[in-house]
Amino acid sequence: MYKLFAVKKTILLIFGALSVLAALSLEDLKFSFDFSQFFPEGDPDLVFYNDFIEEFGTDDNFLLIAVENNPTVFEQDFLERFDALSKEARKLSFVTESQSLTTLFYPLKTSFGYTKLPIIHLQDTTKYTSDLNKITKDNLYVNALIDEKASSLVLALETENKLDYEQSIILLTEVRALLKKYDFKNHHLLGRVYFYEAIVAMQKHEVIVSSIASILLIFIVLFLIYRRILIVLIALFSITIALLLFLGLLSVLEIELNAMAAFYPILMLIVGTSDVIHIVDDYLNKLKTGLTKENALMSALKEVGTSTLLTSATTAIGFASLLTSKSSSISDFGMNAALGVLTAFITVVFLTSALILLPKKEHLLPKKEATTGWPKLLARINDFTKKTHRPILYFSLLFTLACMYGTTKIDTNYQIKESLPTNSPIATDFKYFQENYSGFRPLEVAVMTQGNSRISDFNVIQQIELMEQQLKSESPIRNIQSVSTLYKALNKAHNLNKTEFFSLPNDAKTFEKYKDDIKNMAGKQYAKFVNENETKSRIRARVLDVGTDTLNLLYKRFDKFAAAQTDSTQVKFKLTGSGVLLDKNSFYIQESLVTGLLAGLLMVALIMALLFKNFKLLLISLLPNLVPLLFAGALLGYLNIPLESTISVVFAIVFGIAVDDTIHFLGRYKLCRDKGLHKEIALEITFAETGRALIITTLTLFFGFLILLFSAHAPSVTIGLLVSVTLLTALVLDLLLLPVLIRAWLK
């Protein structure tokens, strides 16, 4: 370690060079968002879905453009401009198809063959009323391409599959330019590319805002603690460099930041501050005793550095527990956060140690002697734990039971709208489509023939129609389309385009006559619903965002109907699609949460066993850290906050950070006992030498995570509130329950 002191200038040069390289690499830092990040990896349904989209393409490759014209869209100038927009949109980058009511037609069978009837007669205003009545009566396009009040029309664009961020921005830029060209100011967008743009913009904004806010908070906290601007600058510089190196490392490793990116600056800066406070606090105390700078730092690193290393390790383990999650966004966050914690520790130990040795002692120590406020407060807390040990135990037990009950009230009825930036254009547009159209969630039903059956068989089409009617009976499901839709439209065309004939033909003979016509007239559309050898098909729909639990009940009813009401010897039906996979994630959240925390708990227990070498001390260290986890779960239950994959990281954060205070407290207590001091004397010294740092670091963490209350991301707000309150609870348990357990169990 003394060699380290001798090369402190070299260390500063190394960190300086690394910081420059990190700063230069920030330009290449990438942000991403894709709903597939939340798919349950390794799940059989995900394997099935990936095979399914190989034949039929993804189900989220659309961009919907709703244009309002109050009180009605049936005004000639508006319709002509909308029609021009619809036709020109076909030429946009990455667009494969464009559909709207002004470009679609009704097929009509005449004695001369098939002809086309426009759905809207653009040039004949006298037919607008009858056109609207026909659209309303058919009900085929209502809530899909026109709303019920006829105050808006939708242009539905189909895009290439899996557009990346740059491609999404190009398409959206062209779309907005086209809307401006035709003077459509009152419009709404919805689709994967729009989500991509909005969420990445939110991520970048959140990272910048949370970084600045965290740095300002740390500056204020450190200045209030040390009252020496030099110490504040040294600490703040070290922590900021740690964040810079971490982001640079992510850039070099080409790790893309997802929706959880806003947490990294807070975690890095706040956790790094905790390490700095513990080391600097002990270092300054050693200087006050008259030790040289080198000896003071050596002593501080020996006594506090070991605990700081352990707390960094346990915090990293807490985050690493998220690796058990089947959601790649959560497991990636756990891995990156663990890497960040270790980066912060290495930077604090080496860079802070090198920097703090440079100034003279008198520039670091306060000019005035510290007040006796802290010693008195900590002594009172210690006395309180001695005098009221039974009430503390009883209250802790009741509190634990109340928390356990609260966890039974947790639900997973998560809605997509909760992930959207608050009061943002995309949140407004999402709400508009939710209230006036079919929402965003795609739903796919895979249709698979059995034996020698083919999709084009009359009996199979009847089975598809049966399933389609079942889906229509579920109010959240809308805009249902399948290959049977094509046959029903053709049957209607053969019967003077009358609405009552929008159904399958009554007999197989008539149905067989339609087969060739379907493939000749709607070959491209037919190929969207049926594969080449006619063994598979799809039913497409969209579902309103009514919550995961509600939809899971709907999915169960679907499976029950398919098993009981369809002929599985001819055809089988299976729910699939990105929406179903997102909803299935709720099944794995609790499972992976418990598995991950148990694995993390085992690792932390092993570390503490090696540190304390005392089974009772091991139990004492774990109990005050399990209760905060229950408390976090209870808050979710009592506040009716749905548990979803993003919010599930609360438990890893609480577990990883809350245990730090316990380690510092028990680590100091063990040092005192190893010196032969009596239990009560050891507790008094532990409170006096560690209590201040514990309170300050926890309050720093408390206010640090409260920064998230100003986030535009609703789950981040929830996480900020839960973590802040829970860490404060963990501090109270460490200061009150730990001493009581030590006195009761360590005779």
The CATH number for 105's domain is: 3.30.70.1320
pLDDT in tens, 35-46: 777 777 778 888
460 shares a domain with 384: no
Place of tokens 């799940």: 43
**How far is CA 103 from each of CA 85, 144, 481, 588, 731, rounded to the nearest angstrom?**
10, 14, 18, 44, 65
Q: Which of 304-318, 518-532, 584-598, 690-704 has the lowest mean pLDDT?
A: 584-598
Domain finish residue from 576, 594, 610 = 576
- As given in the structure block, the two tokens for residue 571 are 């055809």
Whole-angstrom distance, CA of residue 426 vs CA of residue 84: 25
Number of domains in the chain: 3
Q: Which pLDDT value is given to residue 400?
A: 92
647 domain residue, yes or no: yes
Positive or negative torsion for Cα 229, 235, 240, 241: positive
Is residue 158 classed as helix, strand or coil in its secondary structure?
Answer: strand
566 domain residue, yes or no: yes
84 shares a domain with 142: yes
Place of tokens 């790790």: 255
430 domain residue, yes or no: no
Nearest in space to 461 (alpha carbons), one of 524, 526, 411: 526
381 shares a domain with 240: yes
Q: Which pLDDT value is given to residue 482?
A: 93
Q: Which pLDDT value is given to residue 445?
A: 95
Mean pLDDT of the chain: 86
518 shares a domain with 543: yes
Q: Where are the alpha helices (DSSP H) in 189-327?
A: 192-226, 229-252, 263-288, 293-300, 306-320
Is residue 96 classed as helix, strand or coil in its secondary structure?
Answer: strand
Angle, helices 548-565/458-472, rounded to nearest 10 degrees = 150
7 domain residue, yes or no: no
381 domain residue, yes or no: yes
* The model's pTM: 0.83
Backbone angles phi, psi at 190, to 5 degrees: -155, 135
pLDDT in tens, 433-491: 999 999 888 899 999 999 999 999 999 999 999 999 999 999 999 999 999 999 999 99
102 domain residue, yes or no: yes
- pLDDT at residue 281 is higher than 90: no
**How many residues can be counted in the chain?**
747
704 shares a domain with 670: yes
- pLDDT at residue 708 is higher than 90: no
Q: Which pLDDT value is given to residue 747?
A: 64
415 domain residue, yes or no: no
pLDDT in tens, 148-205: 999 999 999 999 988 988 999 999 999 999 999 999 999 999 999 998 898 888 888 8
Whole-angstrom distance, CA of residue 504 vs CA of residue 506: 6
**How far is CA 545 from each of CA 46, 148, 551, 579, 722, rounded to the nearest angstrom?**
21, 19, 9, 10, 25
523 shares a domain with 394: no
Whole-angstrom distance, CA of residue 122 vs CA of residue 77: 9
Q: Which of 194-198, 336-340, 356-360 has the lowest mean pLDDT?
A: 356-360
442 shares a domain with 400: no
pLDDT in tens, 542-581: 999 998 888 989 999 999 999 999 999 999 999 998 888 8
Domain finish residue from 533, 560, 576 = 576
Q: Which pLDDT value is given to residue 193?
A: 92
263 shares a domain with 252: yes
Residue numbers of the domain that contains 105: 59-196
Q: Which pLDDT value is given to residue 262?
A: 67
180 shares a domain with 252: no
205 shares a domain with 133: no
Evaluate whether 310 touches 662 at the Cβ level (below 8 Å): no
Long-range contacts of 498-502 (CB under 8 A, 24+ apart): 499/134, 499/137, 499/138, 502/138, 502/140
Over pLDDT 70: what percentage of the chain?
A: 95
- pLDDT at residue 78 is higher than 90: yes
Domain finish residue from 129, 164, 196 = 196
424 domain residue, yes or no: no
721 shares a domain with 608: yes
329 shares a domain with 239: yes
Q: Select the more confidently predicted residue: 138 or 93.
A: 93
- pLDDT at residue 4 is higher than 70: no
